[in-house]
Amino acid sequence: MISSFGYSLKQGFKNIGRNMLFSLASIATIAACIFLFCLFYAIVGNVRHSTMAAETTVGITVFFDQGLDETQIQAMGQEIGAREGVDSIRYISPEEAWESFQVEYFGEMKELAAGFAEDNPLANSASYEIFLTDISRQESFVADLNSMKGVRKVNYSHSAVAALENLDRIVSLLSAGIIGVLLAVAVFLISNTISVAAAFRKQENQIMRLIGATNWMIRAPFLVEGIVIGLIGAALPLAGIFVLYQRAVEYIEEHYAIMTGIFSPMSIDVMFPSMVAVALSLGVGIGFFASFFTIRKHLKV
C-alpha cells in the first residue's frame, strides 16, 4: 500500500516535469482563477463585515402617542424588548432627548435654548431605541411596530442597509460569473495537460493493465498530477493576496482614516484562515475532478 502510494506520487511529479509547459499553463490559469476568487472573497467579506457593523450601529426609534404616561410607555417597551430578533433596547426619556438635541443643534451656544428651560419642547418625545440581531429583518419588524396600538411613529434608516445589501448581491453575482468562466478555462487546461500526460504514458498504462494493475493504480499518477497542479495554483495567489491585502488595509487606514467610521476593513487574521481553506479546496477540487474525468477517457486499453 505504502509502496503503491509512493510509486503514484513519484510518477505524478514525473508527469508534471515531463509536460512542464502544459503544467505551467494550467498552474497559471488556476492561479489567475483563484487570485480573482480571493479578491472577490475579500470584497464580499468586507461588504458583509460592513453590513454586520451597520447592524450594530443602525437602530430603530419608536415614538409613542401623546397622552401615554411613562408607566404605559415602559410597559410597551418591555413588550417590544421581549420580541424575537431584538438584540438590545434602550429607553430615552424626554429630558434625555432634549439634552442630546441641545448638544446636536446648539452646540456651544446652549444659551439659545435657555428660553425652553421650564418648558421641554420634547415633552411628548419619550422613545425606545432598538437594535436588531439581523438587519435583514428590519422591514418586517418596523411593520409590526407600526401596527402596535399606542405607537405614533417609527424612525429607521432604510437606505444604508439596503445599499449594503445591494452591493453585497452585485459583488457576489459578478464574482460568481467571472469565477465560473475562469473555472471552465482552468478545467479545460488541466484536462489538456492530463491528456498529454496520458498520451506519453499510453504504453505504460497498457502494460499496467495487462499486468493486473487496478484502475485506481493506473489513475493515481494522473490524479496526483491534477491535485499538485491545483494545489500550487491555489498556494501562489494565496501568498500574493496575503501581502496585497495587508498593504491595502494599511493604505486605507493611513490615507482614508476619515472613512473608518463608515467602513473599517476586516483584519487579515480574521479573513485569511477561511480564505485559505476555501481556496485550497477549490484548487485541489478542480485538479482532482478535471484529471479524474479526463483520464477515464484514456483508460480504455
Partner 1 sequence: MIEIIDVSKNYETGTKALKNINLTIKDGEFVFIVGRSGSGKSTLMKLLLKELEPTSGCIIVNNMDLGRMPRRHVPKYRRTLGVVFQDFRLLKDRSVFENVAFAQRVIGVPSRRIRESVPAMLRMVGLSSKYKSNPQQLSGGQQQRVAIARALINRPEVLLADEPTGNLDSYNTVEIMKLLEKINRRGTTVIVVTHSHEMVEMMGKRVITMDKGMIIGDTAAEEEWYD
> Which residues, listed in sequence order, are joined to residue 130 by a DSSP beta bridge?
60, 89
Binds partner 1 (CB under 8 A): choice among 129, 144, 165, 204: 204
Nearer to partner 1, 152 or 209 (CB): 209
E strand or H helix at 129, and its extent? strand 127-132
Which candidate, 174, 175, 177, 190, places its Cα nearest to that of 31? 190
CA pair distance 144, 74, nearest whole angstrom: 18
What phi, psi does 269 have (nearest 5°)? -65, -35
Burial of 38 (0-12, 13-18, 19+ CB in 10 A): buried
Binds partner 1 (CB under 8 A): choice among 24, 54, 86, 213: 213
Contact call for residue 17 and partner 1 (CB under 8 A): no
Nearer to partner 1, 25 or 208 (CB): 208
Closest separation between CB of residue 214 and partner 1, Å? 5
Nearer to partner 1, 137 or 296 (CB): 296
Nearer to partner 1, 147 or 203 (CB): 203
Contact call for residue 117 and partner 1 (CB under 8 A): no
Contact call for residue 136 and partner 1 (CB under 8 A): no
CA distances from 170 to 35, 49, 143 (A): 19, 16, 27
Contact call for residue 210 and partner 1 (CB under 8 A): yes
Nearer to partner 1, 270 or 301 (CB): 301
Binds partner 1 (CB under 8 A): choice among 75, 207, 243, 277: 207
Nearer to partner 1, 6 or 273 (CB): 6
Beta carbons within 8 Å of 282's beta carbon, 6+ residues apart:
34, 37, 230, 234
What phi, psi does 128 have (nearest 5°)? -120, 135
Closest separation between CB of residue 236 and partner 1, Å? 29
| Residue pointed to by grid coordinates 442630546 | 100
Closest separation between CB of residue 203 and partner 1, Å? 6
Positions touching partner 1 (CB under 8 A) are 1-4, 6-7, 203-204, 206-215, 217, 301
